[in-house]
Amino acid sequence: MTVTEPAAGEPALITVQPATTAVVHGTVSADELRDFFDQSFQVLGEVLTNQQISITGAAFSRYTGQFEEEPIDLEVGFTTDRPIAADGSAEAGELPGGRVARLVHSGSFDALGESWQRLADWIGAADLAPGDDRWEVYLTEPSPEMDPSLLRTELNWMIR
């Protein structure tokens, strides 16, 4: 199979390699997500600095189970050059390798649900079997003063 990166806004089937990660796991309500992300990235920044481990990719969140239902079970983190030693809530992890349906969402996080549904519809139309692993990679770092239309989020859904 030839692997090509998807055009912006278009779903594609690609193959990814497993990636070492540093993560914080949590089970939170939708209202707690922002605080969970902020606290987790602060903890991870301190642990990675203290252990002299390099971040090799953008921040991500990986969902286990159904993220349409609460509470939401997830882990947030970064890909790293090597595993971390567990420290408080920070632990080593891994993003899986294999076939992934991918879509790059442009715009506000408020519309992510629509893009996930679009990816689900594409997977079904392509007669593919979706797996349980789904994750978002935050290609642009959000900030309070930025225009939300400038956000880019990569949606990844493992295929069985």
Can you list the domains of the chain with their CATH numbers? Answer: 12-159 (3.20.80.10)
* Spatial separation of the C-alpha atoms in residues 16 and 118, rounded to whole Å: 21
pLDDT tens digits along 8-66: 579 999 999 999 999 999 999 989 999 999 999 999 999 999 999 999 999 999 997 66
Residue 45 identity (one-letter amino acid)? G
7 falls in which pLDDT band (50, 70, 90)? low
Answer yes or no: are the C-beta atoms of 100 and 157 closer than 8 Å. Answer: yes
In the predicted model, is pLDDT for residue 68 greater than 90?
A: no
User: Which phi and psi (to 5°) does residue 97 adopt?
Assistant: -105, 160
| Among candidate residues 57, 43, 54, 56, the one with its CA nearest the CA of residue 86 | 43
In the predicted model, is pLDDT for residue 86 greater than 50?
A: yes
Instruction: Please identify which residue in the block is written with the tokens 């990679």.
Output: 137
Q: What is the arithmetic mean of pLDDT over 79-107?
A: 97
Q: Which bin fits 52, alpha (ψ -120 to 50), beta or left (φ > 0)?
A: left
Residue 121 identity (one-letter amino acid)? D
